[in-house]
């Protein structure tokens, strides 16, 4: 049957994107190299730091934090879970993963919160940023891996870059949302007393938006973890690497062990950061 749509020649959308990335690569090559070096040393520092602490001490520290932030059973779970990770010889991989998660999440938060604040205060920024966020969040996670590999080759650095992009949207979104949700009368009150924009932000808007922002931070950390695992495909190593190797060898037992380690890390991180959120919404 005749289909008028067939008359339109195929639009080379993919080629354009390729071309654009190449163009970027050519023009900002020095920049990406410098950025890669910085990220590289940051990850190493995180990793070395985590590995410098004796595992048993670190396990205790995590369990204590879990106790403080949550309750005794979560603390107990953390202790047993982390001990199990050590026992299955996945400690090193877990710390690699944790280092990447911490770095990526920190970067997402450091960039995401100011962007979120800006988008809540400037209509123009909001109108630009929000559709981009929609795009970022609906794009399959794997898609980010391709361009970052282009810029940063294989390894930990592109993994962290992709993770930052993947995990940042909820921070921006919930920061913006949190600030917009501050009751109008409170903002008016702060203005009526002659606050500067900065005073309004730090004395009224940020404290009141904090529970929402922390929800974004929690989501960001969980997304970081999932992305860091996926990023094993581009050589990120860590727990994802262990899972990846098990898949390639059809090693069901090993895959299960690594998967379990991911779950343990996920639950511990989630409970610790969720509690921050709750304690703030109560205060």
Partner 1 sequence: MAKITVENLTKIFGNHPEKALTLMDQGVSKDEILMKTGQAVGIKDVSFEIEEGETFVVMGLSGSGKSTLIRCLNRLIEPTRGKIFVGDNEVTSMNDNELRLFRRNKQAMVFQQFALFPHRNILENTAYGLEIQNADSAEKNERAQKALELVGLKGWETRYPEELSGGMQQRVGLARALAVDPEILLMDEAFSALDPLIRREMQDELLDLQQKMNKTIVFITHDLDEALKIGDRVALMKDGEVVQIDPPELILTNPADEYVAKFVEDVDLAKVLTAEGVMIHPKEVAFPKDGPRIALRKMKDKGISSLFVVNRNRQLQGYVTAEDAAKAAERGEKELTGIIQTDSPRVSPDTTLNELFEVSASASIPIAVIDEEKKLLGIIIRGAILSALSKEAV
Residues 142, 23: Cα–Cα separation, whole Å: 22
Quick note: the x/- pattern for partner 1 over 195-234, rule CB under 8 A, is xx--x---xx--xx--------------------------
Min dist. Cβ of residue 192 to partner 1 (A):
4
Residue 27 CA to chain centroid, in angstroms?
27
Output phi, psi for 267, to 5 deg.
Answer: -65, -45
Residue 149, helix vs strand vs coil: helix
| Binding footprint of partner 1, residue count (CB under 8 A) | 18
Quick note: the x/- pattern for partner 1 over 128-167, rule CB under 8 A, is ----------------------------------------
Smaller CB distance to partner 1: residue 6 or 123?
123
Among the residues of the chain, which ranges form H helices? Answer: 13-27, 29-52, 55-69, 72-87, 91-121, 123-138, 145-152, 156-180, 184-192, 197-200, 206-230, 238-249, 252-282
Task: Provide DSSP, 123-134.
Answer: HHHHHHHHHHHH
Quick note: the x/- pattern for partner 1 over 173-202, rule CB under 8 A, is ----------x-xx-xxxxxxxxx--x---
Min dist. Cβ of residue 215 to partner 1 (A):
17
Smaller CB distance to partner 1: residue 106 or 280?
280
Smaller CB distance to partner 1: residue 117 or 264?
117
**Applying CB under 8 A, does 270 fall inside the site for partner 1?**
no
Binding site for partner 1 (CB under 8 A): 183, 185-186, 188-196, 199, 203-204, 207-208, 283
């Amino acid at each position: 049957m005749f289909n008028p749509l067939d008359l339109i020649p195929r639009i080379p959308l993919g080629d354009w994107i390729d071309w654009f990335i190449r163009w970027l690569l050519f023009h900002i090559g020095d920049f990406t190299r410098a950025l890669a070096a910085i990220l590289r040393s940051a990850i190493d520092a995180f990793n070395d730091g985590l590995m410098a602490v004796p595992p048993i001490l670190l396990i205790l520290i995590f369990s204590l934090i879990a106790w403080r932030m949550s309750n005794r059973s979560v603390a107990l779970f953390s202790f047993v879970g982390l001990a199990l990770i050590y026992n299955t010889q996945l400690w090193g991989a877990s710390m690699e993963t944790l280092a990447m998660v911490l770095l990526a999440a920190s970067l997402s938060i450091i960039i995401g919160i100011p962007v979120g604040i800006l988008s809540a205060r400037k209509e123009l920024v909001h109108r630009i940023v929000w559709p981009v966020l929609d795009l970022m969040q609906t794009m399959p996670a794997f898609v980010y891996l391709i361009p970052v590999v282009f810029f940063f080759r294989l390894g930990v650095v592109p993994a962290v870059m992709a993770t930052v992009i993947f995990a940042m949207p909820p921070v921006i979104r919930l920061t913006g949302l949190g600030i917009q949700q501050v009751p109008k009368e409170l903002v008016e009150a702060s203005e009526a007393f002659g606050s500067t924009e900065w005073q309004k932000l730090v004395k009224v808007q940020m404290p009141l938006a904090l529970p929402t922002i922390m929800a974004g931070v929690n989501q960001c950390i969980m997304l970081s973890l999932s992305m860091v695992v996926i990023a094993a495909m581009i050589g990120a190593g860590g727990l994802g690497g262990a899972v990846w190797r098990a898949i390639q060898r059809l090693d069901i037992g090993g895959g299960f062990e690594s998967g379990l380690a991911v779950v343990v890390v996920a639950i511990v991180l989630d409970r610790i950061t969720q509690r921050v959120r709750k304690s703030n919404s109560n205060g």
